[in-house]
Amino acid sequence: PYHRRPTLAVEYKQIGGFLKSQVFPSAPAFMQQVMEYDGANLAFVTAAPRGFQSGDRLTWFVLFQNVSGFFVHPVGLEVLVDHSSLDSSQWAVSRVFYNGQYYRDMVQLESAYVQGRVSVEKVRKAPWDGDFSSMKPRAPAAALFPVQLEPQGPRYSVRNNRVLFQAWSFAFGLSVSTGLRLFDVRHGGQRVAYEISVQEALSVYGSNCPGGMSTRYMDGSFGLGRYTSPLVPGVDCPYLATYVDTHSLSDSLRPTKRKASLCIFEQNLGSPLRRHYSNLQSLYYGGLVNSALVVRSIATVGNYDYVWDFIFYQNGAIEGKVQATGYPSSSFLHGDGLRYGNRLWEHTLGTIHTHFVNYKVDLDVGGVKNSLVAHDMAFEMTRAPWSPEQQIERPRLTKKVLDTEDQAAFRLQSQMPRYIYFAANSKNKWGHQRGYRTQITSFAGDHIPEASSMERAISWARYQLAVTRRKEEEPTSTSIYNQNDPWTPTVAFADFINNETITNEDLVAWITAGFLHIPHSEDIPNTVTVGNSVGFLLRPYNYYDLDPSIYSHDGVFFTSEEDFTACEINLLACLPKTASCLPNFPPFTYDGFRNM
């Protein structure tokens, strides 16, 4: 149905024209004297979903000063527009909010203002650069920050959308709605995963203003791939990374190309992947630098920027990670606003909100058919065999095969076994089932009360981990149509979980990670990535007979009896020679401001 469709640019443009030509002129004194409206100095942000029941298409538009970083410059005015009709001449204002008070429409607000019955909170006009919201550095440039380089060129190759890196190979892609995704992930020539992909990013806001309190953004509806932004070399990715153009077909009759909007690079993480210094019995040092391959895209969806990474390590582990930055969303500070966030500036309330991200991980461990096994630890009380009068609390391994989808669906706040792995039908040299385990990094609380009429649309967020049978008719955990009609969701993930057996089947893990963000003064001018990162790891668990990184060419080993200053003994001794010349840095380019 039309009311479920994502709101496209042409509809927003028509709504903007409706506000400018019909709505604002109906309150001339208020708009001129309070808003100082000149036809161009206000910007709006849309709330979503749009109403309270299926069929609604009523949207709160929150007004801000149209300056740099306008997301933190609210002016106190919000307008509810009913744009459900296909005939835009039938559109109407359903309600108006200003500084804590609700009005039937702009005419009623104007009447109350002229009669002196409106509590006016005049906002100081901000300069075009936004003043406090400007991201222009407050300090002059000084010594250049460290720059990553590859002394002998890239050690990975990119051909079309296929990447080779040491023992790894995979294909990458970008979905217009869900963003970054990988296919046919192999290590040592054997497939580990058929698909690893982002599914959704959800934010649920609180506020004492209508736009803020009704916002539950499902960013896949807006387009995590569509809003992938061009990358700035040296900041968004290392300067010498490989940059790839991406294409999307959305809101247009022709594909859109975004130059240099995906990057691939090898990164020295500055710490050992593993090491040991022996000063007992024999004297030696052995270690391996933790150098990993990163595939990255950054989606700018409105105020937020999401840094999406997939990281490939030399020990066979894969990490999926998202870092949140950009501007916090805000409401106009009034009344009991501090119940819903912190004051960020004179009239700016940084509104409390959650972030939830969902991933699809279709593992094929040692083949398509897998089972799900949980390992953990429990203490057992036993008598010391050599001293029976003494008791020992001994940790022991617990094992359980999770036979059904219901057993494999772990609620957000439930206790989950610490080792859960996809088990193959084959065994390693030591008789253990070969496996890959999931390890989640998340600080998520409740997504939304399950009694909510819209909860089924985001029911994937009930679970920190849910493992289901893979089905062609269940390709994604949500739908772009869930945003504007969450009350009758096109896809309800909870329906995927129906107690089917998952032993020796083709399985998919659906992983949810999240965190709470209470904006604070340090979110001005905007939010930093530090501490705002969640994700998951896929780690080999008895998959190999030993750590495969022992075969890396980057290993370092020398004993006390060897000449560790010799290149043939220690590759680090060659650094002064192999890294003596700086590579050729190409001229800086950026394509982010073309064809806007």
In sequence order, the 6+-apart residues with CB closer than 8 A to the CB of 32 are none
Query: Tell me, what's the pLDDT at 318?
Result: 98
Find, among 535, 320, 543, the residue nearest to 422 by Cα.
543
Across the chain, mean pLDDT equals 95
* pLDDT band per the 50, 70, 90 thresholds, residue 99: very high
Domain assignment present for residue 269? The answer is yes
Domain assignment present for residue 592? The answer is no
User: What amino acid occupies position 17?
Assistant: G
* pLDDT band per the 50, 70, 90 thresholds, residue 221: very high
Identify the CATH number of the domain in which residue 111 sits: 3.10.450.40
Domain assignment present for residue 569? The answer is no
Judged against a pLDDT cut of 70, whether residue 458 lies above it is answered with: yes
Judged against a pLDDT cut of 90, whether residue 250 lies above it is answered with: no
* pLDDT band per the 50, 70, 90 thresholds, residue 592: confident
Q: What is the pLDDT of residues 302-316, one digit of tens each?
A: 999 999 999 999 999
Mean predicted confidence (pLDDT) in 510-516: 98
Contact indicator for 444, 513 with CB cutoff of 8 Å: yes
Residue 545 designated active-site: no
**Catalytic-labelled residue, pool 98, 217, 304, 541:** 304
Q: Name the residue with tokens 């022996």.
A: 278
Query: Tell me, what's the pLDDT at 327?
Result: 97
Q: Does 249 share its domain with 305?
A: yes
Query: Tell me, what's the pLDDT at 595?
Result: 66
Distance, CA of 488 to chain centre: 25
Q: Does 177 share its domain with 267?
A: yes
Find, among 479, 483, 477, the residue nearest to 497 by Cα.
477
Q: Does 229 share its domain with 373?
A: yes
Q: Name the residue with tokens 């009896």.
A: 561
User: What amino acid occupies position 477?
Assistant: S
User: What amino acid occupies position 93?
Assistant: V
State yes or no: cis peptide before 238, omega within 30 of 0: no
**Catalytic-labelled residue, pool 103, 219, 309, 436:** 219
Mean predicted confidence (pLDDT) in 200-217: 97
Cα 511 to Cα 440: distance, rounded to the nearest angstrom: 8
* pLDDT band per the 50, 70, 90 thresholds, residue 591: confident
Mean predicted confidence (pLDDT) in 553-572: 89
Mean predicted confidence (pLDDT) in 21-33: 97
Cα 442 to Cα 204: distance, rounded to the nearest angstrom: 16
What total number of domains does the chain contain?
A: 2
Residue 219 designated active-site: yes
Domain assignment present for residue 310? The answer is yes
Percent of the chain whose pLDDT exceeds 90: 89
Judged against a pLDDT cut of 90, whether residue 589 lies above it is answered with: no
Domain assignment present for residue 538? The answer is yes
Judged against a pLDDT cut of 80, whether residue 435 lies above it is answered with: yes
Percent of the chain whose pLDDT exceeds 70: 100
Q: Does 257 share its domain with 363?
A: yes
Identify the CATH number of the domain in which residue 216 sits: 2.70.98.20
Mean predicted confidence (pLDDT) in 56-64: 98
Q: Does 253 share its domain with 105?
A: no
Q: Does 121 share its domain with 261?
A: no
The CB density around residue 222, as the number of other CB atoms within 10 Å, is 21
Q: Does 197 share its domain with 119?
A: no
Lookup: tokens for 218: 């499902």
Query: Tell me, what's the pLDDT at 431?
Result: 97
Judged against a pLDDT cut of 90, whether residue 322 lies above it is answered with: yes
Query: Tell me, what's the pLDDT at 596?
Result: 65
* pLDDT band per the 50, 70, 90 thresholds, residue 344: very high
pTM: 0.95
Domain assignment present for residue 76? The answer is yes
Q: Does 531 share its domain with 414?
A: yes
Among the three residues 133, 149, 172, which one is the final residue of a domain in this structure?
A: 133
Q: Does 482 share its domain with 524?
A: yes
Judged against a pLDDT cut of 70, whether residue 171 lies above it is answered with: yes
Query: Tell me, what's the pLDDT at 166?
Result: 96
Domain assignment present for residue 141? The answer is no
Contact indicator for 468, 507 with CB cutoff of 8 Å: yes
Domain assignment present for residue 138? The answer is no
User: What amino acid occupies position 261?
Assistant: S
Q: Does 36 share its domain with 94?
A: yes
Cα 475 to Cα 184: distance, rounded to the nearest angstrom: 16
Mean predicted confidence (pLDDT) in 357-381: 98
Among the three residues 133, 148, 170, which one is the final residue of a domain in this structure?
A: 133
Lookup: tokens for 464: 């920190």
Judged against a pLDDT cut of 80, whether residue 582 lies above it is answered with: no
CA angle, 300 then 305 then 306, to 5°? 105
Judged against a pLDDT cut of 90, whether residue 536 lies above it is answered with: yes
Judged against a pLDDT cut of 90, whether residue 251 lies above it is answered with: no
Contact indicator for 509, 331 with CB cutoff of 8 Å: no
Query: Tell me, what's the pLDDT at 568?
Result: 86
Range of the domain at 501: 158-401+409-471+478-551
Mean predicted confidence (pLDDT) in 352-374: 98
Cα 105 to Cα 561: distance, rounded to the nearest angstrom: 86
Judged against a pLDDT cut of 80, whether residue 579 lies above it is answered with: no
Beta bridge partners of 288: 274, 555
Query: Tell me, what's the pLDDT at 590?
Result: 79
* pLDDT band per the 50, 70, 90 thresholds, residue 301: very high
Query: Tell me, what's the pLDDT at 567?
Result: 86
Q: Does 105 share its domain with 233?
A: no
Output the DSSP codes for 230-269: PP-BTTTB-TTSEEEEEEE--SSSS-EEEEEEEEEEEEEE
Q: Does 258 share its domain with 353?
A: yes
